[in-house]
Structures are given as C-alpha cells and as structure tokens.
Structure 1
Amino acid sequence: MAPTKTSAAQWDNDSVTEWVINKGNGVKGLSETGITTLPHQYIQPVEERTMSKVLVGESIPIIDVSNWDDPKVGEAICDASEKWGFFQIINHDIPLEVLNNVKKATCRFFDLSAEEKNKYSKENAVSNNARYTTSFIPKAEKALEWKDNLSLFYVSEEEAAALWPSSCKDEVLAYMHNGEKVAKNLLKVLLNGLNVTDIDSEKKQLVTGSKRVNMNFYPKCPNPDLTVGVGRHSDVSAFTILLQDDIGGLYVRVEATDSWIHVPPVKGSLVINIGDAVQMLSNGRYRSIEHRVAANGNSNRISVPLFINPRPEDIIAPLPEVLANTGEKPIYKPILYSDYCRHYYRKAHDGKATIDIAKA
C-alpha cells in the first residue's frame, strides 16, 4: 500500500530510499502517491535545471532515408553528424507496428507491481544484463533524476529468453533486430564519410559489436521546473537510435551559442545521435552532443533508446585511416571501452566531462 505522504517535507532521505529504491516503486510509484510538491531529493541545482536559452522554431535535421545509397542522403547524415551530432530519420523501413509494440511493452513493464519490477533491481537480479533502476546513479547523485529505467544488454537470444522480463522481451527483441538494419546502414554512411571504404568484419564489430536497449519512464512530476528527467550528458555509445512517444521533452545543446533546442516528436521517426565512441574513432569530426530530458507536469512520458556500442574488450582510438587520410594528429589516446564506460557509470551526469579522460 502506498504511504499517505503528499507533502514533500514528509519524504526524508530514508523514506525516499526505502519506498522508491529498496521497495522498487520508483518515481512512478512516488508520483502515484499523489504528492503535490517535489521531495527535496529531486530538486536540482539551478544551473542543472535551467537551460541558458531555448531556441524556439529551431530543430535538428530530418532526413529521409528511403534510399540509403543516395549520395545526398549520405551527405546529409555526415553533415548533421558534424554540425549537430543529432538528426531524425524518416522512411527507415522499420514497421510502425514494431515501434508501437515496443512502446506498449514499455508501458506494460512499468505498470507491473513494484514487487515484479524489483526482481530486476541490483539487489535481486540474477544478471547485470537485465536491470531495473531509478534515476541514474542514485548513490553518486547529489540530486536524483525524475526517471525510472529498465536496461537490457543483449548477449544472445537464449539469454534474453531466459532473463529478460516476459512482459516486454519479444517486443524489445523485434525493435532491436529491426534497429540493427538501421545501424548497419548508418555505419556504412558514417565510415564512407570518413573515406573509410574497407569496412571489414573487425570494423563492424569495433563500432557496432554490442547492443543495449533502455526502456525509460518519466512519470508526471508535481514541480517539473525544479528537476530533470535526465541531466546533461552525452552518450558513451557509438551512436544511439531513439524512439520517442508523442509527448516530447528531449533537448539538445547548441555549443556555439550555448543554447538548447527541443527535438519534437515526428510520427514514425527515429532520433539518431552520435556517441562518444564515434567521436573518438572519427578523431573529433563527428561529435557527441550534450542533451537532456525535461520533466513533465502534465503526463507520463516514455522513450526507448537502442544503444549501438563497441564491445567491452575493444580499444577505442582514432581510426588509422582517418589519421592517414587527413594528416591529423590523434586527439584521443587509446582507451579500453569497458574502462571508459566504468568511469561514466560511477558518477552523476556531468555534461561531456567523461571524454576528457581519453584526450591525448
């Protein structure tokens, strides 16, 4: 039974930890208690919850990829990857049914009882490859983020069948396997844009060797202006394929003007963003960009990112062909991908600070 605490002052550190984290209710459960003001644990510093300037009417590029082999499509993708680090794609050939089904499955998982969801918590899960969490890294954060999350790391069909929640595993696998086709085309376009034309199996594995799907749930928030759904960060992936619902709330930073633009949902589209790994592999030509998610005071919101990553055992550094083709010196030193990720996941979101450890 939910506690009858509707006042923020009644939620001390211990009660938030117990109800939200230990008992598995998450912020969805906290929101559903009927609270009318935000508990202090979720109040972000002013500089983290305030966007310096939001550009109204601006948007990231929307690219029609119905013909991946069209040179103009490749040029548009590479140009967006250099200038924005973000773009949306339409006509990507993933059936709308697949996208709708994984959105429904996301809602279905988060509608499970706290007891069922908590089977996948850090304390109870039988594997790190299916993990239910709230916020980002609660033990490392001075202020918590207003988000619950199920993270599913793909190893094999057999493991997914055995360990992923039955409420969503089939839909997530269908989304992931369809997304692999998009990833294959993106890999070819991005590497060709770097004049890397010999895309052998080793390069494919280096850039797209592992996959993770996150199912994100952002509950209705009593004071959305005081917190964030997700704080400022770039992704550690090679690139990310994001499915939004129709609510909106994703913002991308424009570095040149220190401003932010909203990424409006487009029916049937996918948002693509460059991750830190591809920024390093391209020696900084393609850029990972800070982005964040605003909390919403009117409704729940979901999103489903598919992270396309190097393998944990891969060494990430500027591709030799990139350096040879441009004559550039490497901006980044070689780093074990698992070490890079370990550094990222032991601290709160802090913009793009993680990539500094890889600078030459």
Structure 2
Amino acid sequence: MFGNMNAFLYFIQPNHCPPCLLHAISKQMSVKQTVLLVVPKPLGDGNGVKGMVDSGLSEVPEQYVQPPEERIDKLNASTHDNPPIDLSKLDGPQHEQIVEEIARAAETLGFFQVMNHGVPLELLESLKDAANNFFGQPPEKKAVYRKGVSPCPSVKYGTSFVPDKEKALEWKDYISMTYTTDAEALEYWPQECKDVALEYLRTSIKMVRKVVEILIGKLGVTLDDSRIDGLIGSKLVNMNFYPPCPNPELTVGVGRHSDMGMLTVLLQDDIGGLYVKMEEEMDGKRQGDWVEIPAVPGALVINVGDTLQILSNGRYKSAEHRVRTTSTKSRVSIPIFAIPKPTERIGPLPQLVERDGVARYREFIFEEYMNNFFSNVHDGKKSLDFANNI
C-alpha cells in the first residue's frame, strides 16, 4: 500500500516484467492510482552500472546524482592541447630537450602525453577490444570476480570506488588486477583480457622506469636500482567501463582525486572525458581551472602520483583529476598504476630536504598510505593529508 487504500506501489525490476503483466496491472487497477517504480538491477550480482543502462534507464537513479559542486561543466572547461612528447627522441640529439619537457610537465600540470613509447599500437587496440569484451559478458560471468568471491584476492570486479561510504556513486564498472607473478596472472586474470593486459604491463613498465629515472635525475639525485625497484615494485592494471549516461551533467565517471603511486600510465579510447585541475597559471589558463586531456590516437597519458610528489618534496605535482560521463557511447580506459612495494619507506628525499631547508611531508611505510587511500572516498588531493608534516 502507498499513501491510501486507493493507491498501490509496484516495484518492477527492468526486464523482469513482461508487457502483458504491465497491461494487466493497469487494466485491473484502472479505478485506482497505480504507481510503477522501475528499480535498477542489483549491482552486486555482476550487473553493475552497465546492467542498469541495459535495462533501459531513462534517467539517472538518485544514488548517482552528484551534488552541484561535484558536477563537471564541460562548456566551461578548455582543452590541454600540448602535443604528446616523443620519447623516441631520448635516444638522439634532442635528449636534453625531451628531458626538460617531461620535467616541466611533472612540475606544472602533473599530466602529459607520450608517443613512440614502446607499446605497440596494435596492442593498444587489442586492449580496448579486450576491455569491451569483458564488460560485454553476461552478468554472471563478471560476478565471479566480485570482492569476497573472486578466485584470487588480487582480481576484483566492482563499481564505484568506496560504494559503502560515498554520498553519490560513480558511474563506472571496473576490473582490477594486481600483478604478482606471470603464473598467477595467467591462471586467475579474466580469460578475455589476461594476455593483452599482461603484455601491456610488461611493455609499459619499461617506459615507466625510464621516466622515473629521468624525473629523479632532474632533482639532482641518484637512486640505485634496488631503490627504484622498490618505488615501482607493485603494479595494478585496471580496466574501467563507463556506460552511456542519460543525464551526464548530473554524474561523474570518477570523482576528484589524485593517484597514490609514483606514476600512472593511461590508455584512453577516442571518447575522451578526462579532466585535470590546474595547480598554477599556465598557457593562459588560471589556477583552479579544469582542462580536458584529449584522446590522441596512439598516445598514452602519464601522470604524477602522490608518492612522487612526496619524494620530490613537492616539486612534482600529483594533479587532481576526474572523469566525465557521456550520453552517446560507452567509454573504456585502461590505467597501469606503478606504486611502491607495501614495505617501502616513503618520504622526501634527504638531499632535497637539505637543499630546501624543510621536509614538507613526513615519512611513512607505503602500506599505511595505501590502506588510508582505499578506506576513504575520492575527495580531491585530501589523500596527501596523510603525509603532511604537521
């Protein structure tokens, strides 16, 4: 019953109520007020956001409507149109120029794109196909990777970031794969994507190491191989799926946040939707403005993470960023997160503290930082508060 004796409330799950039943309900209750509420399919059974969209949603459910201050105003955002940095020139006479471009980008926006990065272009296309194939499976195929039931704790399918704590959910499904060994990946990562995801990781991490060595070198510091191994010793591969949204102006694909690790490598498809917050005035754009990182065919996006900002004593910037949804097409993105080993001690490099005369962040064990990061909702660069030296 709902309201009074002449009003009935029916909860209808999409695709579970045939037209004949709806007709029968409306005919039998024609003298009464009948209210039909379409209830989205449960997210926990593998449907995710995609399952809701496939059910024929015409408007965004209330739990996905972001407060006005969190919504992305595409019309008031500009495009960051700096060309990708050509990494192949590191091996030629323009080496120093490319090093300067990488360092400058890390010091200012914290984001840059690269081309001739060593990851085969056909592999990038295969990755996007693999992501679409995984998320295009029936819900029960994806549900086996849910947290708590996945055959391997390092493989997890989910939706949003911390759903049980978020005031408004993110419009995203994902599969997250933490790398430990090739053998584990080949046994437990999803069949639809494990081979290409593993090859993407192998080829990308070579580039990550090269960029890390360049950025550490520009600080005037030398780290031995074992220390660099520790700083990028853990790797996560995510495949993110953003279904079309009936009201994209009300939602976000990913909320405002910075990444926790050293560097993130991101493959975008051609839809775009990645926005970065300016930390300082640059190229005619004001501090606090949001700029879109355009999708460039064949390019990869690299961004600085919190760990590198801390190590550099604030010289390099882990930019706040977020993702917009779209009403027209689904979008996929595949990031690799290069993060420290859990036991690695993180803090400003001693040479920089001596040079700067201050340690802007405290020291900690990375596992502590990681636990804090995954225990809280996305909230800009608030994750860095954990390391503030106060």
User: How many Å separate the matches in 2 of 1:126 and 1:178?
Assistant: 27
SS of 2:89 mapped into structure 1: coil
The 1:307/1:98 distance shift into structure 2, 3 A limit, reads same
User: How many Å separate the matches in 2 of 1:190 and 1:233?
Assistant: 22
From 333, 342, 346, the counterpart of 1:303: 333
Quote the residue 2:173 is aligned against. Answer: 148
Quick check: 1:212 aligned with 2:236? Answer: yes
Quick check: 1:254 aligned with 2:281? Answer: no
Quote the residue 2:11 is aligned against. Answer: none
Q: Residue 3 of structure 1: CA displacement?
A: 4.0
The normalised TM-score by structure 1 is: 0.93
Quote the residue 1:187 is aligned against. Answer: 212
Q: Structure 1: which amino acid aligns with 2:236? A: R
Summarize deviations over 1:324-345 as a string: whole Å, max 9, x none: 4x24311110111111111111
SS of 1:37 mapped into structure 2: coil
CA contact (8 A) 1:64 1:90 kept: yes
Q: Which moved more, 1:49-58 or 1:118-127?
A: 49-58
The 1:318/1:3 distance shift into structure 2, 3 A limit, reads farther
Q: Residue 255 of structure 1: CA displacement?
A: 2.6
Summarize deviations over 1:177-198 as a string: whole Å, max 9, x none: 010111121111111111123x
Aligned length: 350
Quote the residue 2:388 is aligned against. Answer: 359
User: How many Å separate the matches in 1 of 2:218 and 2:15?
Assistant: 54
Which sections of structure 1, spanning at least 5 residues, go unmatched? none
SS of 2:380 mapped into structure 1: coil
Q: Residue 59 of structure 1: CA displacement?
A: 3.0
Quote the residue 2:261 is aligned against. Answer: 237
Q: Residue 205 of structure 1: CA displacement?
A: 1.9
Quote the residue 1:21 is aligned against. Answer: 43
CA contact (8 A) 2:170 2:253 kept: yes
User: How many Å separate the matches in 2 of 1:328 and 1:153?
Assistant: 38
User: How many Å separate the matches in 2 of 1:51 and 1:203?
Assistant: 42
Q: Name which one, 1 or 2, has greater alpha-carbon Rg.
A: 2
The normalised TM-score by structure 2 is: 0.86
Quick check: 1:173 aligned with 2:203? Answer: no
User: How many Å separate the matches in 1 of 2:83 and 2:320?
Assistant: 17
Q: Residue 68 of structure 1: CA displacement?
A: 2.4
RMSD: 1.8
Summarize deviations over 1:221-280 as a string: whole Å, max 9, x none: 010000000010000111100000001000111133211111111010000000001000
CA contact (8 A) 1:61 1:80 kept: no
Q: Residue 297 of structure 1: CA displacement?
A: 0.5
Quote the residue 2:37 is aligned against. Answer: 10
The 1:53/1:196 distance shift into structure 2, 3 A limit, reads farther
Please give the residue correspondences for 1:264-283 in structure 2 after superposition, counting only pairs within 5 Å.
264-283=294-313
Quote the residue 2:345 is aligned against. Answer: 315
Q: Residue 152 of structure 1: CA displacement?
A: 0.4
Quote the residue 1:160 is aligned against. Answer: 185
CA contact (8 A) 1:3 1:33 kept: no
Summarize deviations over 1:22-68 as a string: whole Å, max 9, x none: 21100011111111111101000000114498343543552111122
Q: Structure 1: which amino acid aligns with 2:140? A: E
The 1:2/1:295 distance shift into structure 2, 3 A limit, reads same
CA contact (8 A) 1:216 1:302 kept: yes
User: How many Å separate the matches in 2 of 1:341 and 1:124?
Assistant: 22
Quick check: 1:347 aligned with 2:376? Answer: yes
Q: Structure 2: which amino acid aligns with 1:286? A: Y
Quote the residue 2:54 is aligned against. Answer: 32
Quote the residue 1:335 is aligned against. Answer: 364
Which sections of structure 2, spanning at least 5 residues, go unmatched? 1-13, 19-35, 281-286
From 105, 128, 134, the counterpart of 1:80: 105
CA contact (8 A) 1:219 1:300 kept: yes
CA contact (8 A) 2:64 2:170 kept: yes
The 1:58/1:243 distance shift into structure 2, 3 A limit, reads closer
SS of 1:139 mapped into structure 2: coil
The 1:60/1:284 distance shift into structure 2, 3 A limit, reads farther
User: How many Å separate the matches in 1 of 2:233 and 2:83?
Assistant: 27
CA contact (8 A) 2:109 2:279 kept: no
Q: Which moved more, 1:177-186 or 1:199-208?
A: 199-208
SS of 2:175 mapped into structure 1: strand
CA contact (8 A) 1:153 1:211 kept: yes
Q: Structure 2: which amino acid aligns with 1:25? A: N
CA contact (8 A) 2:79 2:294 kept: no
Q: Structure 2: which amino acid aligns with 1:192? A: G
Q: Residue 123 of structure 1: CA displacement?
A: 2.9
User: How many Å separate the matches in 1 of 2:227 and 2:79?
Assistant: 39
User: How many Å separate the matches in 1 of 2:128 and 2:105?
Assistant: 27
Quick check: 1:59 aligned with 2:118? Answer: no
Quick check: 1:289 aligned with 2:319? Answer: yes
Which consecutive aligned stretches of 4+ in structure 1 deviate over 4 angstroms post-superposition?
Answer: none
User: How many Å separate the matches in 2 of 1:117 and 1:307?
Assistant: 22
User: How many Å separate the matches in 2 of 1:3 and 1:343?
Assistant: 40
User: How many Å separate the matches in 2 of 1:317 and 1:92?
Assistant: 29
The 1:356/1:138 distance shift into structure 2, 3 A limit, reads same
